[in-house]
Amino acid sequence: MYSLKDKVVVITGASSGIGEALAKEALKRGSRVAVCARNMDKLQAVFETGNESILLYAADVSKEVDCKTFIDAVSAKWGGVDVLINNAGVSMRALFEDADINVIKELMDINFWGTAYCSKYALPSILRNKGNITGVSSIAGYRGLPARTGYSASKFAMQGFLEALRTELLNTGVNVMWVCPGFTASNIRNTARNASGKVQGETPLDEGKLMSAETCAKIILDAIEKKKRSIVMTGQGKLTVWMNKLLPGLADKLVHKHFLAEPGSPLQKYER
């Protein structure tokens, strides 16, 4: 068991959704918490300023220099990092045929490179502290999802990176883990990029019926404390991962059917 009490926990992308919930739950568990997002106003709106246990920092994780200065600021305040949760992420909803290639690059820059940069700069102190590196991945990191080519590529890249890093660090006392939430209520679908790279500004799902970000955050922090290897959170997710391994052709058909049925699905273009 690895207690989060008094640990320095760094969370990227914490101004909404799962990251915000992770930060608030880590504070409840007695951690000192450093959070970043691009928009400082949003961070200040969701976290109490003046709380000595939280550090708010404006950083764009797709920029290496921002990741370095963020981790440096955490080290200057608290002497180093125990736990890094690479959570910042954006999604997309557009066919590859229609999407500007820069959409794929932006998703790789944020979801994959953000993870690599923050992990690189936090690793020396995490090694010293025998801490944890976590990636908030997705089922899209196990199974490619249509109209989300860039998102799937970035999450596969994240998981491959973390699995390799986990194996490198196997005998160091550092635990590397990735977690795959199912559909969770958050802002991720509103900010998903459309074909031209603009935010789509709507969600095709009924967000009220999804897992709450708070429940998702508790599962992730419990998994860090139990030093898990990886977590697939929902039954639907577990079934998808399992079926993709054993019956990949059937998985193609079922995943296609699921995403074709979404309101306004880009896949309808190929059905005419």
| Minimum distance of ligand NAP from residue 264's CB (angstroms) | 17
Segment interacting with ligand NAP, rule: CB under 6 A, options 82-90, 121-129, 219-227, 255-263: 82-90
Residues 86-145, interacting with ligand NAP (CB under 6 A): 87-90, 110, 136, 138
- Considering only 53, 191, 212, 234, the residue that binds ligand NAP (CB under 6 A) is 191
Of 3 and 196, which CB lies nearer to ligand NAP in the complex structure? Answer: 196
What does the block give as tokens for 86?
A: 């690479």
- 160: CB partners within 8 A, 6+ apart: none
Q: Report, in Å, the least distance between residue 272 CB and ligand NAP.
A: 29
184 binds ligand NAP per the rule CB under 6 A: yes
Contact pattern for ligand NAP over residues 22 through 51, marking x by CB under 6 A: --------------xxxx--x---------
- The site that binds ligand NAP (CB under 6 A) totals a number of residues, namely 31
Work out how close the CB of 4 gets to ligand NAP at its nearest, in angstroms, rounded to a whole number: 19
Nearer of residues 49 and 171 to ligand NAP, judged by Cβ: 49
Q: Least Å distance between CB 88 and ligand NAP? A: 4
18 is a site residue for ligand NAP (CB under 6 A): yes
CA–CA distance, 86 with 222 (Å, rounded to integer): 16
* Cβ burial, residue 1 (10 Å; 0-12/13-18/19+): exposed
Q: How many CB atoms are located within 10 Å of the residue 197 CB? A: 17
Sheet strands (E) in the chain: 8-12, 32-37, 54-58, 83-86, 132-136, 175-180, 230-232
Sign, Cα dihedral of 255, 260, 263, 268: positive
d(CA 122, CA 104): 26
Q: Is residue 60 part of the contact set for ligand NAP (CB under 6 A)?
A: yes
